Structure 1
Amino acid sequence: MAVTLTDEARQYIALFDEETDVAATDCIVDDEYDRVVFVVPPGTMGKAIGPGGTHVQQLEDKIGQDIEIVEGADTPENFVANALAPAAVYNVTISENDTTVAYAEVDRDDVGVAIGTDGRNIDLARRLAKRHFDVDEIELP
């Protein structure tokens, strides 16, 4: 599925690549929560974060907003689990009827983390899952 980027997102991806030496595959500028979210290829999360989180800190200082990084995945199930991190996700099942719904089984103690303050985490996961795998909804049964 093709992801459409704004000019601002493209500029942030270029800066991200320069700082981390990781080519982000997506970027969402979330002005509502004053954050910039990058999606990185599978297996590059550690390199993107940097030792002790140095890359994230440097980017936050340059951009002036919080930085969040989501690791991409080859399947919608794994992508949804990654998008809900750091919540412990045990299993994700995709149901396709009139709409595509991902049912994510999250550790009881991490449901609040998966949802986030004012629903910010699950809303982001929904946006990303729609952009990358055309998943219409994420539910926590």
Structure 2
Amino acid sequence: MKLKQKLDIRTIGYISTFEKITRTEYIDFYEHPSSLLFIIPQKDLKRAVGPQGKNVKKLTHLLNKKIKIIGLSDDPKKFLIDLIYPIKPLEITQENNILKAKFASRIEKARVIGREGKNLEFTNSFLKKHHNLEFKVI
């Protein structure tokens, strides 16, 4: 599954509102029916979230969707952890161009993979796009 950036008027509105409220620029954006994911430079993460999550709360209220903001980390392991948060892997190993993650329970594993592998495809598309790596659950 390859995510393509489709910019229609609604998407441009989401991005414009995000940049106006957070005073940061986005690197990547993904719209899900119930939520929005913004990837921004790691150094701007604190400013984007705002004091006590004020900006995220404001965006959630204005756009009527859950908001997730992730800092683009140079470390692919940190980026993966941020993508799959709140699920925490026991360990992450990197072999060649593949990141492998081990989880504590089958439930966590199932949540990371998602129904019909959709969450795994989603995570893989961002890792491939930003770090040229593939993600596997072991």
Given the two structures, how large is their TM-score scaled by the length of structure 1? 0.72
Cα distance 1:36–1:78, how it changes in 2: closer, same or farther (>3 A)?
same
Runs of at least 4 residues of structure 1 off by over 6 A? none
Residue ranges of structure 1 left out of the alignment (5+ in a row)? none
1:67-86 C-alpha deviation (Å, 9 max, x unpaired): 11122111322221221223
What secondary structure is seen at the aligned counterpart in 2 of 1:45? helix
The RMSD of aligned alpha carbons is 3.0
The answer to whether 1:18 aligns with 2:20 is yes
Structure 2 counterpart SS, 1:44:
helix
> Could you report, residue by residue, the CA deviation over 1:35-89 in whole angstroms, capped at 9, with x for unpaired residues?
1110121133222222222211211222222111122111322221221223334
How many residues align? The count is 133
- Cα distance, 1:62–1:84 mapped onto 2, change above 3 Å: same
Name the CA shift for 1:114/1:52 in 2 (closer, same or farther; >3 Å).
Answer: farther
Q: Does 1:104 align with 2:137?
A: no
% identity of equivalent residues = 19
Q: Which residue of 2 aligns with 1:67?
A: 67
How far off its partner does 1:26 sit?
0.7
Question: What is the distance in 2 between the residues matched to 1:90 and 1:113?
Answer: 15
Q: How does 1:1-141 map to 2 (within 5 A)?
A: 5-8=5-8, 9-31=11-33, 34-89=34-89, 91-96=91-96, 100-106=97-103, 111=108, 115=112, 118=115, 122-136=120-134, 138-141=135-138
SS of 2:26 mapped into structure 1 = coil
Instruction: Report the TM-score when normalising by structure 2.
Output: 0.73
